[in-house]
Each structure stands twice: as C-alpha cells, then as structure tokens.
Amino acid sequence: MAGTVTDPGGRPTAAASRPPRVRTAAAPPGSEFERLTAPYRRELLAHCYRMLGAPDEAEDLVQETYLRAWRSFDGFQGRSSLRVWLYRIATNACLTALEHRARRPLPSGLGGPGDDPEAPLAAAPPGVDWVRPLPDTLLAATPGDPETVVAARGSVRLALIAALQHLPARQRAVLILRDVLAWRTAEVADLLGTSTAAVKSLLQRARAELEAATPREEQFAEPAEPATRALLDRYMAAFENADAAALARLLHADAVLEMPPLPTWFAGREAVVRFLAATVLGAPGLLRLVPVGANGQPAAATYRREADGLHHAHALQVLTTTPGGVCRVVVYLEPGLFAAFGLPGAVGCP
C-alpha cells in the first residue's frame, strides 16, 4: 500500500496516534487558561479512562471538564490547587455520566469459559459496551523516576480497568483517588462532599471487591522491557508462520483468550491453541502483525490477507505477560480501533 511505513523486517509500523481530543474551542490557544491547564490534559484523560473504561468516552469527559473549567475560570479563587480543581470537575463529570450506564465488562466477566474450542462461536450479545483498549500514545508522559513510569502504566492495565468496572461509581472514584493518585482521605472527602469516615468505609469495600475481581495473573510481575519485546516478537512470528507448536511454547499453562465483542472465551493453553489452530492461524502469510502499545502492555495489530492481495485490518491483540509466558490475550475483533492507534486500514501490495 502506498504510503505505508515498514520496519527493517518489512512489517508496517504504527504512525503517531492522533492527539487526545481535549482542546475546547471555548478556550483560545495561547490564553492564560490554556497555558495553565494544558499540562494536566493527559493525566485527566487517564483518570477519566479508569472511571469509564473507554478512551472515546474519556476524551469526551475531558472535553466537558475543560469547557466547565473555562467557563468558571474567572471565579477560581485558588482555594485549592489548579490540578485538584480540575480533578474535582472531571471526577464529578464521570460520576454523573455513570449514573445511568451499565458496567463495561470483558467476556470473562459474563460467564464461564467455552468447553469446545472447535464449536461455532456464540454471536455478540446486543447492547453490551465492552472495556476498550487505550493507546499508549495517549498516556501521560511521566518524566524521571522509572518506578513512577511503571506505576503509571500499571494503573491503566486492561485487567485492572475491567476489575474497576465491577465497583459502584463512588467506590471506584474513591479507590482511584486514594490508591492510584495517592490523595489524602480528607481531600477525597472534600471532593465528594462526604465525611472522612465514609471515604474510609468506601475504600475498604472497594479494595476487597477489586481484589476478588482482579485476575490471578495480575499478581505476577511483568518481565523487563527487553524480555517482553522479545516475547512479543516470537508471538507475532508464530502467528505469521501459522506455527501452533511455537505459539504453545509461548503461552502460560493457564493462558486465557478473550475476543470481544464475542462472549466466548477459552482458558488453558490446550484449549487456546486448539481454537487458534482450527479457526485463526490458517496458512503461513495469511496474517501480518504490527507491534503497538495499549494500556501500558505489549500489543499487536493483526492484518488478514483478503482476496485483493492486501492485508486488511482484522483485530487488535493486547497481551498480559509474566516470566512464565503470555498468560492472557484480549483480542478486539474491531478493525475500527486501528485508526486510534495511528494504523492504516490495509498494508502490502496486491
């Protein structure tokens, strides 16, 4: 395809993703408001994403936050920091948005795993809004301490975002403000208009529910970056070569495969490999994979060769890795997601 950029191995590479849609037309570029509030845009997007579980909705709420803040800016008296003020507006906007919305799940949150990897898959259930992946290019760039960078990425991991959606909205807000952003209890109580005792109670319940909802593999540390990238390279090569045996060697014994918007999911290396071999891998060359980053995790955009000879956007895979291998793969069967990752709709020449 004309204009496609490739890496030395011939794979197309992800272009820079579009910037967050958080500029409001109401605030003139270069204004004092724009200058003072611009540094908080990306972290507010991450905050709204943790609350809502969908990047597009998070961007809309950040837009709303900045619009509300701009309209009230003349009345801002500096009684709190500008950052706290913006978080107050954003959190309350999220709580209002969540009042009449069902939680966003992943397939594993709706029922048990499939028992026959070669059986026809169940159709996508109507009306389900799934947890969506967040492009790494939209994450806040955190300077300095590598441990701080790792912590920031860990706070948007896909499994954590899915687990957060199990919590009632106010519990979710309290847990994020206290355990992710490290706000003091009194600050959270002031933001929510409640007592410190109520915040402590909400936090205790939220921590217990989150621990029960978080997948076991999230308790293991992810390998160091070079090892993770090497594992992703081998994983992509196994798909491109249609090598089920190589794929099996990369998967943890308890590996899980989920495929939103389809509700069917599989647990265990044998079931996952049987499904992929029978339904997905095909012949060598059928698939081409492009490395990307999502939710601070390794990910791969999957292209599938069609009758015109081009490889067309097919699915986005987000991987959870441990020292024991790939333990969870969430495959988003939604080609429309590629644009958010700066990826073309098709690659290669017919």
Pairing mode, if any, of strands 287-294 and 325-332? Answer: unpaired
More confident residue, 218 or 92: 92
More confident residue, 189 or 35: 189
| Domains of the chain, residue spans | 32-218, 225-347
The candidate with the shortest Cα–Cα distance to 259, out of 315, 322, 327, 216, is 315
Q: Has residue 141 got a pLDDT over 60?
A: no
Average pLDDT over residues 112-129: 89
pLDDT at 262: 95
What amino acid occupies position 249? R
Q: What are 263-295's pLDDT values in tens digits?
A: 999 999 999 999 999 999 999 999 999 999 999
What amino acid occupies position 3? G
Average pLDDT over residues 184-204: 94
Length of the chain: 350
Supply the pTM of this predicted model. Answer: 0.86
| Percent of the chain residues topping a pLDDT of 70 | 84
Record: fold of 225-347 = Nuclear Transport Factor 2; Chain: A, (3.10.450)
pLDDT at 218: 62
What amino acid occupies position 160? L
pLDDT at 323: 85
Q: How many CA within 13 A on the CB side of residue 247? A: 24
Q: Has residue 20 got a pLDDT over 70?
A: no
32-218: which CATH number, 1.20.1090.10, 1.10.730.10, 3.40.720.10, 1.20.140.160?
1.20.140.160
Query: In whole numbers, what is the pLDDT of the chain averaged over residues?
Result: 85
